[in-house]
Amino acid sequence: MSELQQTTATISHAPAHEEAEPSFLGLNPGGWVALAMLFVFAILIWKKVPGAIAGALDSKIALIRDQLAEAEALRKEAEGLKAEYEAKSKSADKDRAALLERAKHEAQEIVAKAKTDAEVLIERRTRMAEDKIAAEERTAVEQLRASAADAAAKATARLIAERHDAGTDAKLVDQAIREIASR
């Protein structure tokens, strides 16, 4: 059933006489409630409550606007920092690549220098060894010559001793004296 039908049914079953609503100074309870509401609204307007509420709302709106502006500024600053760090990151990648390339180049130079130094050292050590061998050979040859000369002198002395006797020695001494005196 609809609401209208229920109301009509209630009215048709109502008793024939209606009860009177209580009233005071000609106002029923609904009127008094309305009067009280008007009185409360008048006090609120007189105390400037709507202005205070509007002021509070305005200050809250201003605070929210300030916070939004600050958030926007922080967002822009964060975007700037992000861009700066991205640029630094790219720069660091380039620097890292350049540093790596420079390190490889320096390593190649060090290896080349080490090879050159090793070759020079080997050549110098080889030359020193050859010089030492040549010196040893000269010493050996000189010792061999000295030994040969000594052996020859001994052999000559023995041959002279075997072939010459005291008479031959006297003749040689006399001949040497004559040669010295004739001079």
What residue ranges of the chain have pLDDT lower than 70?
A: 1-20, 164
Give the pLDDT score at 75: 93
Between CA 9 and CA 13 the distance in angstroms is 6
Give the pLDDT score at 173: 81
Give the pLDDT score at 5: 60
- pLDDT tens for 37-88 read 999 888 888 888 778 888 888 899 999 999 999 999 999 999 999 999 999 8
Q: CA separation (Å) from 94 to 83, 98, 102? A: 16, 6, 12
Task: Retrieve residue 129's tokens.
Answer: 């060894």
Q: CA separation (Å) from 119 to 33, 110, 112, 123, 133? A: 117, 14, 11, 6, 21
> How many helices (H) and strands (E) would you count in the chain?
4, 0
**What does DSSP assign to residue 22?**
P
Could you tell me how far CA 148 lies from the centroid of its own chain?
A: 77
pTM (2 decimals)? Answer: 0.35
Give the pLDDT score at 7: 56
Q: CB–CB of 35/28 below 8 Å?
A: no
SS3 24: strand
